[in-house]
Structure 1
Amino acid sequence: MENKEGVKVVGFWVSPFVHRVRWALKLKGVEYEYIEEDIFNKSPLIFELNPVYAQVPVLVHDGKPLPESCIILEYIDEAWTNNPLLPQHPPERAQARFWVKFAEEKVFPALRGLLFSEGEIQEERLKLAMDVLQKMEEILRGNTFFGGETIGCLDLVLGYISYVLPVWEEIACFKILDPWKYPSLIAWIHNFLDHEAIKGEYMPSKEEMKTYFQWCRKKFM
């Protein structure tokens, strides 16, 4: 890996927003220092690095902090040009950004909403979540990754589906990852988790995630 002095990531162990940043640095071959932040008992550091939102992740490069995971991904792609995360041609690049925005504003809230609901409300949210996943299924069809044959920015943004969503399904008693409805997405999950940059990077265990998200569901519902 490239030894790049002055690269740090401030994060929280289970945050999918943090993991996408760590995966991107792994894909680029950039070494970094990881600093764990307790998001329920925030340190002065996070208020110093991200005074507007005081949220993780924060990337610190040569002493300059940058918040917001999708912005960080684009920065990483521009700062280290090997293994590009976004297409090089402007029309394709703009299209990729559109789907990243869709994933952030539509897919994640729809899936997360299932964790914090039950009964009729969860059934309504399930229909919405199935609709947005169907769009992801359609744009993925025929490709190994959303980035084509290599992992791209959208793969990283949606990466939590591969390891967090099954835990949410178990905790909140719903089922959405149907191989008959989403064969391309199911294949993508296996391809994503089997990629060297993903399986070679830290990910929390299923039991750790179950304990944490059970607590979250009980606390926030």
Structure 2
Amino acid sequence: MAEEVKLFGMWASPFSRRVELALKLKGIPYEYIEEDLSNKSPLLLKYNPIHKKVPVLVHNEKPVTESLVIVEYLDETWKNNPILPQDPYERAKARFWAKFIDKKLLPTVSKLGHMAGKEKEEAIEEAQQQLKIMEDELKGMQFFAGQRIGYLDIAANVLIWFRIVGEFIGETILTAEKFPFIWEWIEKLMEIDVVKECLIPKERYQDLMQLNRNASKHASN
């Protein structure tokens, strides 16, 4: 039976980009379906009726949701080009740090655009403390997975997105001076062709953020 793989995603979603990167690293052919999240398609609502969000992977009509769950599903289903570490302890560590990124670091950075004054300063400090933890974990390694990119590098790929957000809100959260190991890791990642293919277009994303900011201002007036 032919493998039918579809990915419902959105160009500006770092979570969709995670899954695209995993698919490309694994060499899995797939059909990409772009979603308009302001007008969600009936298929997206059918395949993800609980959260109604992207990304959604549909494999032979079976939907899988949540980006890191999808990445693990891909790795377990297609055994070639493994993404997760083979050693159980290393695999557990990779999952731990991926969860740290999603549950701690991302929520801190995501709220910066809605803050001002002392509250914003405290959130920036908190984000940088969390980045320092990731910096220490990366110290002395080419990639989070070792000599080549793997599961945690895919999860941490959102750190590239921090640059875009930081420039837009006028705060340099992530700099080469403060986080030299993460900065060097990002530079190495961006030399890899499949990573380049999965980058969020910076100018287009900043235009979207500006539109959202303007819409929020009008809504509050």
Structure 2 unaligned spans of 5+: none
Distance 1:161 1:88 in 2: 25
| Residue 5 (structure 2) aligns with | 7
1:85 to partner: Cα distance: 1.4
Distance 1:202 1:179 in 2: 22
Question: How does the TM-score come out when normalised to structure 1?
Answer: 0.93
Distance 1:81 1:75 in 2: 10
Question: How does the TM-score come out when normalised to structure 2?
Answer: 0.93
1:53 equivalent to 2:51? Answer: yes
| Residue 105 (structure 2) aligns with | 107
Distance 1:220 1:145 in 2: 38
| Residue 207 (structure 2) aligns with | 211
| Residue 169 (structure 1) aligns with | 166
Structure 2 counterpart of 1:151, which letter?
Answer: I
| Residue 150 (structure 1) aligns with | 148
Q: Residue 168 of structure 2 contacts residue 206 of structure 2 at CA under 8 Å; is this kept in 1?
A: yes
What is the percent sequence identity of the aligned residues? 44
Compare 104-113 and 26-35 and name the one that shifted more: 104-113
Structure 1 unaligned spans of 5+: none
Alignment of 1:111-122 (within 5 A): 111-122=109-120
Structure 1 counterpart of 2:184, which letter?
Answer: A
| Residue 182 (structure 1) aligns with | 179
1:123 to partner: Cα distance: 0.3
Structure 2 counterpart of 1:67, which letter?
Answer: T
The number of aligned residues is 216
Of 85, 88, 100, the residue aligned with 1:87 is: 85
Distance 1:47 1:81 in 2: 30
Distance 2:155 2:213 in 1: 23
1:8 to partner: Cα distance: 0.5
Distance 1:39 1:79 in 2: 29
1:15 to partner: Cα distance: 0.3
Listed one character per residue, the Cα deviations across residues 72-123 of structure 1 (whole Å, up to 9, x for unaligned) are: 0100111112222111111111111111111110111111122332222210
